[in-house]
Amino acid sequence: MMKIAGVEVGDRPLILAPMEDVTNPPFRKFCKKYGADWLYSEFVSADALVREVNRSLQKLTIDETERPVTIQIYGRFIDSMVEAAKIVEAVKPDFIDINFGCPVKRVAAKGAGAGLLRDIPLMVEMAKQVVKAVNIPVTAKTRLGWDCDNIIIDSVAEQLQDVGIQALAIHGRTRSQMYTGDADWEPIGRVKANPRIKIPILGNGDITTPQKAKEAFEKYGVDGVMIGRATIGKPWIFKQIKHYFETGEILPDLSVAEQLSILKEQIELSMDWIDEVRGILHMRRHMAAMFKGLPNFRDLRIRMLQANDKESLWQIFNEIEERYQ
């Protein structure tokens, strides 16, 4: 059983990666139900927390059933990151994570997220000050480097460990790659094999099947595997991976009826979390990712993704179940 500062996070833990507008409490609940060992929140702006922006404060909501759970923060200024970390500490997550990896322009171009890969001294000092400011474990998530000419993760990992970061998640791409191309796990494995590295190393990038998750542990030696985009529309992927680890068998895909049952419950939780219209809107990316491979599904998919009230959506779900039972 792996522990970080005394907190148990599972044996070969499968971790829900932080994703903006995805890993909110309703979705985290489903991932936990289907076997996720460790959950991450959406990333939260430090500046917005300091300004007490309601939407950002809402992202700090956690439930006891989610543990272990991490709240992730990002920002470009040390002072606001320190203050935000103290605000987060007050809601008592198991860990605070610093986002050094978000590649999107509105974050990285302002010097936050992956933007800090262009200023390693600032990144390290930020980590050091956040660690000093709180009494709960601080972890970090980053990428291999800014671009392929600057793969600096080996040095970055050592420096972050040296200032008190207690686990490091590494996405196997550079910032310039965004989410294109294949994730490169070789540098992740190299960091894990570095005898100077004593903290847990978590691998992230392109874990879409049980076989890839197994390879991450066995070939690259990581302490935990983080799964992001593959969970969208498929929170049961954690259960499939664990079944494969235990038996070597691949679980068959869920039936249409089973997927609909899960989807309905997710939508109900999403509507309760926000409201009916926005709750359904928030779920569209999950709906779009489901029911892959169904023949002659285009018309129903279009209608499903255009529906904006529960009654209309449930009627479409009934049609889907009748057509594909």
Query: In the structure, what pLDDT confidence band is assigned to residue 184 with cuts at 50, 70 and 90?
Result: very high
Domain parsing of the chain, residue ranges:
2-247, 256-324
Average pLDDT of the residues in 118-141: 98
Query: Distance (Å, rounded) from C-alpha 58 to C-alpha 70?
Result: 15
Q: Which of 237, 261, 265 is nearest to 251 (CA)?
A: 237
Task: Compute CA distances 90 → 87, 134, 258, whole Å.
Answer: 5, 10, 39
Query: In the structure, what pLDDT confidence band is assigned to residue 1 with cuts at 50, 70 and 90?
Result: confident
Q: Which two tokens stand for residue 155?
A: 């040095």
- What class has domain 2-247? alpha beta
pLDDT (tens digit, 9 = 90+) per residue, 141-150?
Answer: 999 999 999 9
Evaluate the omega torsion of the peptide bond into residue 25 and state whether it is cis, within 30 degrees of 0: no
Has residue 48 got a pLDDT over 90? yes
Q: Which residues contact 233 (CB under 8 A, 6 or more apart)?
A: 285, 286, 287, 288, 289, 290
Q: Which of 101-115, 122-136, 138-152, 184-198 has the lowest mean pLDDT?
A: 101-115
CA-only gyration radius of the chain, Å: 20
- Give burial (CB, 10 Å; 0-12/13-18/19+) of 16: buried
Active site residues: 102
Average pLDDT of the residues in 84-94: 97
Query: In the structure, what pLDDT confidence band is assigned to residue 253 with cuts at 50, 70 and 90?
Result: confident
Q: What is the dihedral of CA 97, 101, 105, 110, to 10 degrees?
A: 60
Angle between helices 256-273 and 25-33 (to 10 degrees): 140
Higher pLDDT, 110 or 157: 157
Average pLDDT of the residues in 206-227: 98
Our CA angle for 105, 108, 112, nearest 5°, is 145
Residue 292 has what pLDDT? 84
Q: Which of 183, 132, 120, 126 is nearest to 157 (CA)?
A: 120
Query: In the structure, what pLDDT confidence band is assigned to residue 55 with cuts at 50, 70 and 90?
Result: confident
Has residue 109 got a pLDDT over 90? no
Percent of the chain with pLDDT over 70: 100
Q: Which of 112, 119, 126 is nearest to 163 (CA)?
A: 126
Q: What is the amino acid identity at position 62? A: I
Has residue 113 got a pLDDT over 90? yes
Q: What is the mean pLDDT of the chain?
A: 95
